[in-house]
Amino acid sequence: MALGMAKKRWIVPWAESEVKPAIYHCISRVVDRRFAFTPDDKEQFRTYMRMMENFSGCRVLSYCLMCNHIHLLLEVPPRPKAGFTDAELLKRLRGLYSAAEVAVVAKELADARQVIAEGRAVHGEAYVMKIHERYTYRMHDLSEFMKTLLQRFTRWFNRTHHRSGTLWEERYKSVIVEDGVASKTMAAYIDLNPVRAGMVKNPEEYRWSSYGEAIGGGKKGDGKKSREGLVRACLGHQGVGFEVEQWKEASRIYRRLMGIALGKSSGKVEVKPRGVVTKNTAEMLASEDNETALPDLKLAGMLLCRVRYFTDGAVIGSRAFVNEVFTNARERFGAKRKDGARRMRGSGKPAAGVLWSLRDLRVRL
């Protein structure tokens, strides 16, 4: 990789495409990796996360809030080409700001519109656009979503715990993820964090994850947002949006995927050693549509291991997908490199040939 380019954040070249989704796995760790977050802290982080969704237009497909780090699978849709109406802007602002703050902006917009209607401003529309741009530059943007979310939570955390200074270890990491097999596999990997850490036996038992919220309900008790996100992660490549009505189908696919990872037997979820095959997993592997997503018995234990490619691989997806990103960022690599896709090894080896990485991770696989 060319010098000076390795730390530049990877952004999909089709960021403004209405056809191809831009999905990222984002990871941020607490400074010194100490166990800092209490249950109340995690609840507050989730609240801010949902507020940022409402404001920014970005959507969380899957998430897990651990005691010393967070994982988000985030889709960043393109900005509306026609922009926002005043009503749409105010609705977005209500997702993040207080009623008093929104009222000030509403009055400012109303006054500007009145001046325009009376013909008293030559450049009235330009002034209205400036009001919009104060906020819209932070919408539909990966960096602004993460920056605002992490900063808001840091301020709240420092006030609550009577501390000061930075909370996060470094800039958050992000990995580009293809929709389809890659997105639902990454979602399951994220939801299985507390199982890998030995905190719970079953992923649905962990409250601060997308699957736990989808099954047990969130703060409002319905878990709708998480179900919508997982529907998109599992079925987005089929043209399905954030349609909670599709949860039954998506959950069936997702349970099968997670069931293989956990050695799931009928009516019960329990961790099995790698390679152990239950009657249920054999039936799933034999299913005609192969809804397990990754067609190999050896993959049954992969998601229970730390797969470094999923956090450091830069781009994860099919070979064609990874090569497309590589081609669009050719200047970031040396002349000797001919293509982008790299076969996974180490703990990611079971996915070799199905999922590919942009980075060839040689150390500490």
Segment 50-106, tens digit of pLDDT: 999 999 999 999 999 999 999 999 999 999 998 999 999 999 999 999 999 999 999
pLDDT in tens, 99-147: 999 999 999 999 998 888 887 766 768 889 999 999 999 999 999 999 9
**In which band, very low, low, confident or very high, does the pLDDT at 183 lie, cut at 50, 70 and 90?**
very high
DSSP 153-191: HHHHHHHHTT--S--BSSSPEEEEE-TTHHHHHHHHHHH
Q: Are residues 131 and 72 in the same domain?
A: no
Q: Are residues 249 and 282 in the same domain?
A: yes
Compute the residue count for the chain: 365
Q: Where are the alpha helices (DSSP H) in 34-85?
A: 39-56
Q: Are residues 75 and 108 in the same domain?
A: no
DSSP, collapsed to helix, strand or coil, labels residue 12 as: coil
Q: Are residues 240 and 122 in the same domain?
A: no
Residue 207 belongs to a domain: yes
Q: Are residues 129 and 176 in the same domain?
A: no
Please state, in angstroms and rounded to a whole number, the distance separating the CA atoms of residues 145 and 274.
Answer: 37
Q: Are residues 197 and 158 in the same domain?
A: yes
Q: Are residues 216 and 159 in the same domain?
A: yes
Residue 297 belongs to a domain: yes
Counting the structural domains of the chain, the total is 2
Please state, in angstroms and rounded to a whole number, the distance separating the CA atoms of residues 164 and 144.
Answer: 22
Residue 12 belongs to a domain: no
Residue 7 belongs to a domain: no
Q: Are residues 73 and 90 in the same domain?
A: no
Q: Are residues 167 and 204 in the same domain?
A: yes
Q: Is the pTM of this model over 0.85?
A: yes
Please state, in angstroms and rounded to a whole number, the distance separating the CA atoms of residues 303 and 70.
Answer: 17
The two structure tokens encoding residue 168: 């996060």
Residue 90 belongs to a domain: yes
Its domain, for residue 99, covers 86-136
Pick from 58, 74, 83, 65: nearest CA to 23: 74
Please state, in angstroms and rounded to a whole number, the distance separating the CA atoms of residues 322 and 343.
Answer: 11
